[in-house]
Amino acid sequence: MEHNHENDDTPKCGICGSHGKLVKTECCGNWVCDDKQKHIPFSNERNSCFVNHNRFTLCAYHFAEKHKGDWQTCAECRENLKPEIYAYFGTNDYNFRKLANPPAFTPTRCTKCKRVINLGEESYTLDGNDILCEECGPQFT
């Protein structure tokens, strides 16, 4: 018989809501799926709650950099990251708490074709001072 978790205090992943195998995050102590083995390095897949929280949030960045205080008010985090990345890391769905007042920013454009690049979600290449979208960057086969 399957257990109904709707009205109990059984831990669940704070990102996807799963009651499967869970682990607490080092950065904030919240429950998250213990699914890092699902992630294939360099694949750009976003299929692991554990990896997504650890790679794409200010919470995890702040912890990894050993900054003091809360990540929501950390001046070092804000200064060290491009405003677009800071806003994305603070407001995406991999957060347990979202940044209340993300900074405004000018969208990043590909130096070559001028298309807007969403730095938080798309692949891009840094080439000196140039930033290139996936289509304009080097093609690897």
Tokens of 109: 């454009």
Prediction pTM value: 0.84
Q: In the prediction, which pLDDT does 42 show?
A: 58
Per-residue pLDDT for 50 more than 50? yes
Three-class SS state of 19: coil
Of 23-27, 42-46, 62-66, 134-138, the one with minimum mean pLDDT is 42-46
Once rounded to an integer, what is the mean pLDDT over residues 87-106? Answer: 95
Q: What are phi and psi of 122, to 5 degrees?
A: -110, 155
CA–CA distance, 67 with 61 (Å, rounded to integer): 9
pLDDT of residue 39 exceeding 70: no
Res. 92: pLDDT tops 90: yes
- Name beta bridge partners: 133: 124
Neighbours of 100 (CB within 10 A): 8
Phi, psi (rounded to 5 degrees) for 114: 70, 10
In the block, residue with structure tokens 């590909």: 110
